[in-house]
Structure 1
Amino acid sequence: MASEKCVCCHDLDFRDLGNSKRGTKEEQPSMTLDLLDLQPRCTYCSLLQRMISNFAPQIEESYEKPTLCLTLEGSRAVLAEISGVSTEDDQSITSIDRFYFYLQGNQNYEGLPSLGRLGIHSSHSDSDECFQFIESKLDICSSSHDRCQQSAHPPLPKRVLSIGRCNSDVIKLLEPGERRAAYATLSHCWGSSHPIKTRTANLAQMLQEIPWSGLAIVYQDAIRVCRRLRLEYLWIDSLCIIQDSKDDWELESSKMCEYYSYARVTISAASSFDATIPFLTKRDPKWQTHKFKLVTHDGKDTAICARRDSGSYITNHVEDPGPLASRAWVWQETLLSTRVLHFTQSELIWECKSDVCAEDGILPRGLYSIRLPQQLLRCEQDPYNGWHNLISTYSVRQLTYESDRLPALSGVAAKISALTKSDYLAGLWKENLPLDLCWSTDYQISSASVPQVPSPQYIAPSWAWPSVRGAIFFNDEDPEQPFTPLAVVEEAICNVSGLNSYGQVSYGQLVLRGLVAHILVTCMEPRDCWTYTIGNDPETREPLAPDCALVEANGSVRRAIESDTLAPFSVVLPCILVGKDETQGEVYYYVMVLGSVGAEQYSRLGFASLEEDDWFRGATEESLHII
């Protein structure tokens, strides 16, 4: 006769939770346990208690009402989230830590029917298990992923490192001409270090030989990875682009789309904060797998594996994603790559256009759950909306040089251009321009409510989003809200300043014809974006999203510069009605707010979404020159 299941932990059996208050019969069934209710005589409760004591030993001393939420993931590993009410703060519920537990090996444990068996999570990123995982994923991806198919012998980049197959082979820079072969690319952060670079003066020497001792440790690790994968060529930006040649840099940056797309694999040194820190190394013990003994109901002595969730968002335990996670150039490199090997501090993550998983088979959370290489494929269905979604993820990234804002995006822009056949205008598309103009600075994404001062360098015309710093979002997130243009683009130009047609611009002008109303714009506190409003009547004013910090000047308002003293203002400004969208009877009107910058010329200052069009009754139709 079968014994009754534990009333607290349900014997860790998720199969029949559909009728239970502890969970629902969904794709990811779950149960929530009060830790004070764990049964000391239950084998499974005892297992949970031991795992909690290992991952969150402070739970009983520092937190009240501790709970444990168990969710059965698609990999059939259980994600356990420990929460509690802190005894020191405002009594809010705090997520303390997360860990996975699962089975390993190939035995069949009848006492744990819900748990799946996963692969090995290695203690060293250079282990045989890690490379067996890489080779297995490469074989599966190459043979069965339709979206990841590419030539086995693609054209090599203009320059590439020839690294041979063994330690005795000469390493040198190669200009391969028409040669075709498989190669890898490296995505890494220079940081404060100054790794060896190719310059005009040392190009001839680099073509002869590059001493192993002269290579930064990250480059040495990348070469080790390539040799283990039997790849004889490697592309590294600092070595394969002549760093003191503006023409070479512009031409090569325009080819990023090809280089990363054609590469057999991109090696992402995510755990290296600069080129001096290796990524093939032993992992910190806090990320390593722990084993817990369990004797199941069928009498078997079972080892349960458990490891901390590195993708957790808990600040005191979360893995530092490293500088690569925040860099704009790396965003493009990952997006354009067919396959990426992320060597993080805690685990090796495989990511391709069809799949993403960690070395033991767990689906990564956090940063890697957005599946960046797959985002570009979605643009094939709706390239303009796809572009807007991509820019939202790109705009939060950081750049060492502000002038790279457009070049660091140029490879992706080239890809979208091939889909749209539209003229590219400093981050916007001519054929979709009325909707593309409906961007706003996103002050909610990071709770950063302080408008920033724009770059002192000219990056883009004011009507284009690259002209400002910070996160950007577009007003087309809901496909059920069809956009109707209410302004006509009479002229739109951008002059490219270099050899990359998707790179830096020197000037841009937009002539926009539409209804123009002169409306009061008020700023109560210039360092708080939520105090900017549009409208004459205090009772009906609407929020205005300022593009950046603004200052009153010469009877108008302009974008601030670093030396300006910010102060409140209330000024009547020209506002042009750009378009509207409508769904279920609700209409939103999109308005661009402008400031005068000279004779008959204007600069964009901000953007507003209004629920009424009364603001434009009696307005005249005008053509405005916006620079």
Structure 2
Amino acid sequence: MYVFDYDDGLQRRRNRRLLISIVFEAARETLQLLARAAYGVICQWTSFILFIVVQVTPFWAIIYLYYTLWPNIFDEVHWLILAIPVLIVTYITRSLFTLALGLFHSFAVRRWGRAYARRIPRWMISEQLQDTTRDLKLSFSNSATFYRGVLWLFRQPQRWRESRNQPPENVCMVCHNLDPDRHCRYTPENGNIQYRDLLSTYRDCAICATLHAAVCRFYPPADTSNAFFYQWKRYQPGDDIILVWNKHKKMITIELKNIVAVWPRMTFYCLGKGLDLPLISSPRAAVDDTRSESTMHRVLSWITECTTDHENCSRNQPHPLPDRVLDLGNSPNSPIKLVETRNELGYYACLSHRWGSKQPLRTLSGNKDAFMAGIHMAALPKTFQEAVTVCRQLSLRYFWVDSLCIVQDSVDEWERQLPKMANIYENAFLTIAATKANGHEEGLHPNGESRTVYLERIPAHEIGHGVSEDVYVRLEYQDKGGIRHWDIQSPDQQHEEEWPLLTRAWVFQERLLSPRMLHFAKRELVWECRTGVFCDCGREHDDKADDLEFRRLVSSKSIKTTNATPLQLRALWYAIVERYSRLMGNLTVESDAFPALAGLASRISGLLEDEYVAGLWRSNMVEGLLWARKNETPDNRPVRPKSWRAPSWSWASITDEISYKHNTTSGWFRPELHEIYAAVEDVECVPTGSQRTGPISSAALTLSGWVSHASVRARHTERRNWYTDELTVQVDCDLVWQHDGHESSLRPDHPEDVVDGETVLCLRLARIDKRDWYLVLVRDTQSPGSFRRWGLYEGADVTWEWTSMESWRRRAEQRYHEEKRV
């Protein structure tokens, strides 16, 4: 018989000791947290002060030395010449200081050892300073701009005092000769010109006369179909009609005070050698018919300029022809034949087009021999006919069209041609794009009613003041009926009504790989190459836009260099996937998700010397898993393909836009990937054919790492779209950790499959910046013992969540029982 001796007082004392231990543990770790945060702030401010002392002080010292030795130096010497010594001295000073810190750290470690490392860790002296200075220090170009502004501060007071009472001679008091510096000195509107002021000066100034005549051409407006013209017709000449001058784009924007609208813009051209007026753009004619002879002259001038003057574009050299091409002959009446080239060299053009609802003329196993004998021009669809005419006008004998140069009903043919797509488009001399056409029967050229251009001529005698040539003014209105230029919207997000071709997923790699592309848009011609974008209206576009930089990175001239590291190539691939995912939902055949990108995948696979596995790379599978749906508020509309095309862990398993969570070439401000936790044990991928970049039949991935159980808490909310009046169901999900009950929001891959209360498994993948990322998994009911991806979750490192009440209680109990055993 066992006798139990129970002491109630002893038990209460033990409970009090346990409670005191929990309170003590919480207080101690809270103080540690505050101390670490304060210490981090002190280190950051220390690094900032060191940065000011080391890098900014020499700058001001040199400026002061400039001003002391040569008081008028800021008026007599160009600002860039003055900035270069400043840049050199500041960078040398910073380098010497960083070197001194490194030597001090090495000496301190040897002299004081671990005691020094504990009291002044290395990151305070070197890494923290480097991070702070990297964030604060501008690049050379931005630094030069900053120094220009500082030098301008020294120069402007003196210039302002000199011109305060009397403006310079031969300067108009209204337009100030469109000089921004003079605008800043004389007008309170910072460069804006009131139309009512032109009424008193257009007889004395050529620029004012040109602006006045241009406004009179369009005011009062006869067309009131858009919002601006409707409001403008109600204005009187004395009302607040404001002309805003843009020096860099050489255009005038017309604004109406107190009216919110999309402002029209005026650009000015001269067909001769040009006038000595700052508002005259490049002497290019703006024509209305893309079939005209002058249009072809403009295209030829673009080609000549691209092949001779553009540093980023390929030169005029022959390349191997595709396996089959259309031979157009040497004359306009020559027969068109399908020929096999056998690796011959030459110049050829490609056609980028949409097939549309009806399939175009195609080469099949049964009609290939007949096409090699000859194809009648009348048998070709309208788009093909007009593209053949353009090739002949540009003296291009060979022409490649996918539907005619690839045997469409041969699976073996497609498997051979898919890896060659990259070379076909990159080696083409020119790619002709039917950008405005929804199908092959619409043709290249815009119809008359869609090409509305407000173009007026101002005779030279009407302007006067020595102007000897007529001036053409073009009014552009950014509305549904106006011209949408490519510097206004990203080329990967074009309006479907304006540029339907660019919504096609297959065209994505065609645009990236083509050295030069001629777009027949809805309202004008657009030339696109790796140097810039040019419209037939003469508009100047930004040659440093993100899309152009991206195309230069993909080009073989840039990518096939010894400086391209595997890390840079993988980042480039992730950026490609992000942009391509915007278009995957438009695939007519859903299984084409991998084939439509096979050309780029084959190229990067060869450069990386890595195996392509369902859109990822075998040597870096875990990093490739760090993708998620970009849609911030997912609804319950299905994003899963109707038939299986990729495993759940591949970005191709959904039809929505995705984004990678770490830094890529298309996301310069994303955090860096610091550490990878999970490990790849095995990966299997079975392609349907012989090409690993093509479609696949099955794939499996085996990972190992730390896992934790959690449950899903879902909320379904109905929302109505204000624009389309469409009713959707928004799905908001929270992840509830089972070990401590902590809740965090997450984004599922397939909102339509979310079940409230479902148990999931979270596998810790990697650390990005200061956050851990987890792969959320659920059991695959169709394959016992396997899991499928459910989503991606961003959270703290729950394996050491030392600030939670649960962890305080657990460690206090552990310490209490250890003391009891002692």
How high is the TM-score relative to the length of structure 1? 0.82
Deviations 1:302-336 (A, max 9, x none): 644343558x5x44645543321100011111111
Match of 1:215 in 2: 380
Q: How big is each residue's C-alpha offset from its partner over 1:360-383, in whole Å with a ceiling of 9 and x where there is no partner?
A: 4423589x9723643414666422
Partner residue in 1 for 2:467: 300
The 1-side partners of 2:382 and 2:527 are apart by 22
Alignment of 1:130-529 (within 5 A): 130-149=295-314, 152-280=317-445, 283=448, 284-287=450-453, 289-292=455-458, 298=465, 300=467, 303-309=470-476, 312=478, 314-315=479-480, 317=482, 319=484, 320-364=497-541, 370-371=547-548, 373-377=551-555, 381=564, 382-397=568-583, 398-444=586-632, 449-475=635-661, 476=663, 477-478=667-668, 481-483=671-673, 484-525=675-716, 528=729
Deviations 1:396-440 (A, max 9, x none): 112111111110011111122232222112222223322221111
Secondary structure of the residue aligned to 2:507 is: helix
After superposition, residues 96-135 of structure 1 pair within 5 angstroms as 96-106=262-272, 109-110=275-276, 112-135=277-300
Cα distance, 1:534 vs structure 2? 2.0
How far did residue 169 of structure 1 move?
A: 0.8
Whole-Å Cα distance in 2 between the matches of residues 531 and 63 of structure 1? 50
Find the counterpart in structure 1 of residue 772 from structure 2: 589
CA contact (8 A) 1:222 1:267 kept: yes
Considering fraction of residues, name the structure with more strand: 1
SS in structure 2 at match of 1:498: coil
Alignment pair present for 1:41 and 2:217: no
- Distance in 2 between residues matched to 1:594 and 1:32, nearest whole Å: 59
Q: Partners in 1 of 2:472 and 2:685 — Cα distance?
A: 58
Residue matched to 1:534: 735
Separation in structure 1 between the aligned mates of residue 409 and residue 643 of structure 2, nearest angstrom: 20
Distance 2:640 2:649 in 1: 13
Residue 185 of structure 1 deviates from its aligned partner by 0.6
When residues 60 and 605 of structure 1 are mapped into structure 2, their CA distance, relative to the original with a 3 A threshold, is: same
Query: Residue 500 of structure 1: CA displacement?
Result: 3.0
Query: Structure 1 pair 207/614, CA: closer, same or farther in 2 (3 Å)?
Result: same
Q: Distance in 1 between matches of 2:677 and 2:220?
A: 62
Question: Which structure 1 residue ranges, 5 or more long, are not aligned?
Answer: 25-30, 87-92, 558-568, 619-627
Q: Counterparts of 2:437 and 2:788 in 1: how far apart (Å)?
A: 42
Q: Distance in 1 between matches of 2:711 and 2:773?
A: 16
Greater Rg, structure 1 or structure 2? 2
Q: C-alpha distance in 2, partners of 1:423/1:115?
A: 55
Q: Is 263-272 or 99-108 further displaced after alignment?
A: 99-108
1:153–1:300: structure 2 CA closer, same or farther, 3 Å change rule? closer
Q: 1:600 aligns with which of 756, 781, 785?
A: 785
Give the stretch that moved more between structures: 141-150 or 130-139. 141-150
Please say which of residues 348-357 and 181-190 is displaced more in the overlay.
Answer: 348-357
Tell whether the 8 Å contact from 1:269 to 1:279 is kept in structure 2 after alignment.
yes
**Cα separation, 1, equivalents of 2:318 and 2:178:** 50
Closer/same/farther in 2, CA of residues 507 and 84 from structure 1, 3 Å limit:
farther
RMSD: 3.4
Contact 2:244/2:253 (CA < 8 Å) preserved in 1?
A: yes
* Percent identity between the two aligned chains: 25
How much has 1:200 moved relative to structure 2?
A: 1.1
Q: Please state if 1:78 is matched with 2:280.
A: no
Moved more, 171-180 or 260-269: 171-180
Asked if 1:571 is matched to 2:738, the reply is: no
**Equivalent pair of 2:251/2:266 in contact (CA under 8 Å):** yes
For residues 52 and 487 of structure 1, the distance between their equivalents in structure 2, rounded to whole angstroms, comes to 68
User: Does the aligned pair in 2 maintain the 1:517–1:576 contact within 8 Å?
Assistant: yes
Contact 1:268 1:340 in 2 (8 A): yes
Count, aligned residues = 576
Other-structure match for 1:613: 797
Q: Distance in 1 between matches of 2:437 and 2:181?
A: 42
The one-letter amino acid of 1:481's match is P
Structure 1 residue 509 displacement after superposition: 1.1
Deviation sequence 1:66-121 (CA, Å, 0-9, x none): 876745364x42162657767xxxxxx44x244341232345545x3354334112
Kindly state the Cα deviation for residue 576 of structure 1 after the two structures are TM-superposed.
1.1
Displacement after TM superposition at 1:293 (Å): 5.8
Structure 2: 5+ residue stretches without partners:
1-167, 203-207, 485-496, 718-727, 803-822
Deviation at 1:346, TM superposition (A): 1.8
Name which of structure 1's ranges 323-332 and 61-70 shifts more when overlaid on structure 2.
Answer: 61-70
CA separation of 1:226 and 1:525: change in aligned 2, threshold 3 A: same
Per the TM alignment, residue 276 of structure 1 is displaced from its structure 2 partner at its CA by: 1.0
Q: CA separation of 1:67/1:404 partners in 2, compared to 1, >3 Å: closer, same or farther?
A: farther
Offset of 1:259 from its aligned partner? 0.6
Q: Give SS of 1:250's match.
A: helix
Partner of 1:563: none
Which gives a bigger RCO, structure 1 or 2 (Cα 8 Å, sep 6+)?
1
Q: CA deviation at 1:129?
A: 2.1
Aligned mates of 1:184, 1:321 — CA distance in 2: 24
Q: How high is the TM-score relative to the length of structure 2?
A: 0.64
**Separation in structure 1 between the aligned mates of residue 736 and residue 470 of structure 2, nearest angstrom:** 67
Measure the CA separation in 2 of the matches of 1:541 and 1:517: 14
Shift of residue 539, structure 1, vs aligned partner: 10
Correspondences of 1:90-101 after superposition (within 5 Å): 93-94=260-261, 96-101=262-267
CA contact (8 A) 1:343 1:349 kept: yes
Residue identity opposite 1:482 in structure 2: E
Q: Which amino acid aligns with 1:608?
A: Y
Q: CA deviation at 1:520?
A: 2.4
Deviation track 1:557-602 (CA, whole Å, cap 9, x = no partner) reads 6xxxxxxxxxxx13231111111122xxxx1221221111042211
Alpha-carbon deviations, 1:479-528, whole Å to 9, x = none?
67331212112222321112332110111111122221112222201765
How far, CA to CA, are the matches of 1:608 and 1:83 in structure 2? Answer: 49
Aligned to 1:58: 230
Aligned partner of 1:121: which letter? Answer: A
Given that 1:451 and 1:529 are in contact with CA atoms closer than 8 Å, whether structure 2 keeps it comes out as no
